[in-house]
């Protein structure tokens, strides 16, 4: 369902003007033509109760009764009040209601449809009082003509005519009010539906914006991890290759091969991530994201760059993880090792533990330790890598704890597992030793 956006003040003013023009053409103009036609024969006086009213005044009053219909939709209460005043003035001076009397049921309908509940009920009461006043006017008129033409007219006959005329006028007012009330209720229901749709559209747009922001943040984190890790490896290999180029061309060639391979892998990974934004290369998009099962290859790549690394992990003790959790765990280990390459110093070594814990609740535990400079390392970065690790873990309910000390730097990550994963964890608990135990080592 398509819903128009909320109107501005200028658009709302234009809408009100257009509604007045439509009401003027549909309601006011036809009644004005009938009023002028009905009084086209000249002077009309109303001497029934002692007043002589010129034709021009009668026409003016009837025209003034009709004109407020032009704003009966936008301001029904004011329109009804003006019409009620001039209709009452007609009866007070003894002028019989003319064509302008048709304005009364029309404005009652408008009050019921467009006005508030108070305005609607108030002017229904005014219309019913007008019907009573019309019946009284009919009684006096009947008695006046009976005396004038020496007709036999009794109060009983006059009362019967008054009840008939007043009842008809009251019935017209009630029917008009009921029709307007039903139309107004339908209008309010449609308005509520439209407003609810407006809110749903706003919520949908807001969710889309939040999703887009989250996707941009995810891609930014991915690119940071890929580029930072790859560049650190390439810089380390380039420095090493430069030093051994003269003494050992074979080792220099191996370093340059590693640089080339790392660059190609980084380029492929970046193309895969950017392929999410462009639906051109489906093969790149379908490539699975790295996970815990890819950590051995990551360790080999880092070790090839010159950093001695050992991996402690029992593959069978790790339950099947959601893709997002596996990717987050992989990136945290990658970022921790990248920081070791950048900050720990040339003599540093690193160890990575991956295990599961059954108590107090099922969880995947990661720990990366290095023997580098630790707290003595220069703070030459903005800390975005550590912040990115914490954000990745927090997305899946996990935590990341870092600690710098004299003997190196430690990164500990914990990801809660589901009950299904917890069953796997419980079965493997005897084999999955804590980080200070020895497991499968690379």
Please, which pLDDT band fits residue 30 given cuts at 50, 70 and 90? confident
Would the pLDDT of 439 be above 60?
Answer: no
pLDDT attached to residue 332: 92
pLDDT tens, residue by residue, 60-77: 888 888 888 888 888 888
pLDDT attached to residue 177: 93
pLDDT attached to residue 175: 94
Max Cα-Cα span within the chain: 143
Mean pLDDT of 154-176: 83
Would the pLDDT of 415 be above 90?
Answer: yes
Mean pLDDT of 162-191: 90
pLDDT attached to residue 45: 45
Mean pLDDT of 182-206: 87
Would the pLDDT of 419 be above 70?
Answer: no
Helix (H) / strand (E) containing 378:
none
pLDDT attached to residue 144: 63
Please, which pLDDT band fits residue 112 given cuts at 50, 70 and 90? very high
Q: Please give the residue that has the higher pLDDT: either 220 or 405.
A: 405
Please, which pLDDT band fits residue 229 given cuts at 50, 70 and 90? low
Q: Which of 275-279, 344-348, 353-357 has the lowest mean pLDDT?
A: 275-279
Contact in structure between 433 and 355 (CB atoms under 8 Å): yes
pLDDT attached to residue 375: 62
Would the pLDDT of 42 be above 70?
Answer: no
Distance CA 74, CA 27 (A): 14
Report the sign of the C-alpha dihedral through residues 191, 193, 196, 197, in that order. Answer: negative
pLDDT attached to residue 426: 34
Identify the CA nearest to 353 among candidates 279, 288, 433. 433
Q: Please give the residue that has the higher pLDDT: either 299 or 14.
A: 299
Beta-carbon contacts of residue 166 (< 8 Å; ≥ 6 apart): 131, 132, 134, 135, 138
**% of the chain residues with pLDDT over 90:** 14
Contact in structure between 339 and 409 (CB atoms under 8 Å): yes
Would the pLDDT of 392 be above 80?
Answer: yes
The SS3 of residue 47 is coil
Would the pLDDT of 284 be above 50?
Answer: no
pLDDT attached to residue 435: 42
Please, which pLDDT band fits residue 360 given cuts at 50, 70 and 90? confident
Q: Most confidently modeled of 159-168, 251-260, 333-342?
A: 333-342
Architecture of the domain defined by 305-442: 2-Layer Sandwich (3.30)
Query: For strand 309-313 and strand 350-357, is the pairing parallel, antiparallel, or unpaired?
Result: parallel
Would the pLDDT of 118 be above 70?
Answer: yes
Domain ranges, ordered by start, for the chain = 9-204, 305-442
Please, which pLDDT band fits residue 199 given cuts at 50, 70 and 90? confident
Q: Please give the residue that has the higher pLDDT: either 378 or 272.
A: 272
Q: Which of 92-101, 120-129, 153-162, 272-281 has the lowest mean pLDDT?
A: 272-281
Q: What one-character DSSP code corresponds to residue 363? A: E
Helix (H) / strand (E) containing 270:
helix 249-274
Q: Is 351 left (phi over 0), alpha (psi -120 to 50) or beta?
A: beta
Would the pLDDT of 130 be above 80?
Answer: yes
Take residue 239 and report the two structure tokens written for it: 């420095």
pLDDT attached to residue 440: 40
pLDDT tens, residue by residue, 298-348: 898 888 877 899 999 887 778 888 888 898 899 899 889 988 888 887 788
Q: What mean pLDDT is reported for the chain?
A: 76
Would the pLDDT of 5 be above 90?
Answer: no
Contact in structure between 410 and 353 (CB atoms under 8 Å): no
**% of the chain residues with pLDDT over 70:** 68
Take residue 158 and report the two structure tokens written for it: 């006059």
Please, which pLDDT band fits residue 434 given cuts at 50, 70 and 90? very low
Would the pLDDT of 1 be above 60?
Answer: no
Distance CA 266, CA 263 (A): 5
């Amino acid at each position: 369902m398509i819903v128009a956006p909320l109107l501005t003040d200028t658009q709302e003013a234009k809408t009100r003007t257009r509604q007045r023009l439509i009401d003027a053409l549909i309601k006011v103009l036809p009644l004005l033509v009938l009023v002028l036609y009905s009084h086209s024969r000249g002077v009309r006086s109303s001497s029934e109760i002692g007043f002589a009213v010129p034709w021009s005044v009668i026409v003016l009053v009837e025209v003034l009764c009709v004109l407020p219909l032009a704003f009966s939709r936008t301001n029904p209460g004011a329109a009804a009040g003006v019409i009620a005043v001039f209709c009452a003035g007609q009866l007070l001076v003894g002028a019989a209601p003319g064509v302008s009397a048709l304005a009364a049921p029309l404005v009652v309908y408008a009050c019921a449809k467009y006005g508030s509940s108070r305005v609607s009920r108030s002017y229904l009461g005014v219309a019913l009082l007008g019907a009573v006043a019309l019946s009284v006017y009919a009684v006096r008129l009947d008695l006046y003509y009976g005396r004038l033409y020496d007709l036999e007219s009794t109060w009983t006959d006059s009362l019967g005519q008054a009840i008939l005329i007043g009842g008809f006028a009251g019935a017209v007012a009630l029917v008009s009010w009921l029709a307007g009330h039903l139309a107004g209720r339908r209008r309010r229901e449609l308005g509520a539906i439209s407003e609810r749709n407006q809110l749903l559209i706003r919520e949908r747009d807001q969710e889309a914006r939040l999703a887009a922001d989250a996707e941009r943040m995810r891609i930014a984190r991915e690119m940071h991890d890929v580029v930072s890790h790859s560049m650190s490896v390439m810089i380390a290999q380039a420095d090493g290759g430069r030093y051994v180029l003269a003494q050992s061309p074979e080792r220099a060639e191996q370093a340059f091969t590693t640089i080339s391979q790392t660059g190609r892998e980084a380029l492929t990974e970046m193309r895969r991530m950017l392929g999410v934004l462009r639906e051109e290369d489906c093969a790149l998009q379908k490539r699975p994201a790295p996970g815990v099962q890819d950590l051995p290859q990551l360790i080999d790549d880092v070790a090839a760059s010159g950093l001695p690394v050992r991996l402690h992990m029992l593959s069978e003790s790790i339950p099947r993880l959601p893709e997002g959790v596996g990717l987050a765990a992989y990136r945290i280990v990658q970022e921790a090792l990248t920081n070791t390459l950048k900050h720990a110093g040339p003599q540093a070594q690193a160890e990575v533990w991956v295990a599961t814990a059954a108590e107090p609740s099922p969880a995947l535990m990661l720990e990366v330790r290095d023997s580098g400079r630790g707290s003595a390392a220069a703070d030459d970065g903005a800390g975005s890598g550590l912040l990115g690790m914490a954000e990745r873990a927090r997305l899946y309910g996990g935590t990341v704890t870092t600690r710098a000390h004299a003997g190196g730097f430690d990164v500990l990550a914990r990801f809660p597992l589901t009950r299904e994963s917890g069953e796997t964890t419980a079965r493997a608990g005897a084999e999955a030793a804590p980080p200070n135990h020895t497991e499968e080592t690379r």
